[in-house]
A and B are shown apart, each in its own frame.
Chain A
Amino acid sequence: MLEKMIFGRYIPGTSFVHKLDPRSKLSFVFLFIIAVFLANNAVTYGILLGFTLLVIFSSRIRIYFLINGLKPIIFLIAFTFLMHIFFTKEGAIIVDWKFIKIYEEGLRQGIFISLRFLVLVLMTSILTLTTSPISITDGMEDLLNPFKRFKLPVHELALMMSISLRFIPTLMDETDKILKAQLARGSDISTGSIKQRIRAVIPLLVPLFVSAFKRAEDLAIAMEVRGYRGGEGRTRYRQLKWHWRDTVALALLGVLVAALVLLRG
């Protein structure tokens, strides 16, 4: 189940979208999220959907893979759709069968809102699927740089994020080891009442935390010894490069916004 979830996963590749600078992708998605709310009729929603499909196509991520990975979200979208259909009571009645009455406005709202939801989820998934977490961090750090003036600790936040990302697999391995060690001692976290199971998790968490703190201490010492003194006077090894394709991507978004503004009802 968890392997199929694609939320937050990164699939390496060499497509147009993969090669975009993380800064342009992040601003693209951010602006797109705002632009989505411009759509308010069939034409504009159609354009939005078409545009999203175009982006998916140029990321070379298979639609089947996307839909499969987003199943839990699709359920949520379907639920939203049904809510609108049954609870909006405006416009002409189009279906009247026994106790079920579906109004025209309900159907319209249901389709639009679900489409909006779908497009947002697809676009953000494409972002995380085509950008490595560390690139996202780099992009964020760069985009947020102006906020340093307002005392936002941008460098520290980015470093925190990259270290957390770096230690996820390490701590996962550790959890696995501890789990096996406790299982070998007869602990059982998969049966029994909820209360029993929660109690069985404690001997897992305690050693995990102890070791995580030990790691944090070691890491802090290692960083200090290697000359880390905060962001001041630091150079960067990861360089971000703006290419013509980034300009093209943002220009395309500009075209989309213009079309939405012109064609909205």
Chain B
Amino acid sequence: MFVSVDEKCLRLTDDSGERGVLLGMRCRQCGVHVFGPATFCQSCTSSDLESVELAQQGTLFSYTIVRVPPPGWPGQVPYVLGEVELPEGPHVLAEVIDCDHDALRVGMSVTLALQPVEMEGVANSERVVYKWRPG
């Protein structure tokens, strides 16, 4: 049984732990999208929002290869952190996996990729985390 790292941002769509969608909110008044939950529109303050599924593919707005990880980082070091711009507008920060560091380019296309992650030293802490993969 897989559990999403954050059920308000990522919904798993089957039991494989490999497929899911990023969730966001769209403002019915001004059309702006945000990633994750929202009660009020951050652009026009309207509360007339609908939840939406965001695109599976975006472009790499920027990236960095993190050599000194933050406390509690459960993955490998170094890791690539990407800021990805979705076609709906929001930017989503997450690890970029399965990539050749030298082949990374600002503006390249990336696709949502899910991976189960266990927090170091925390029992039963496995969560499915959203990441990006070139393509």
Report if A and B associate in a common complex. no
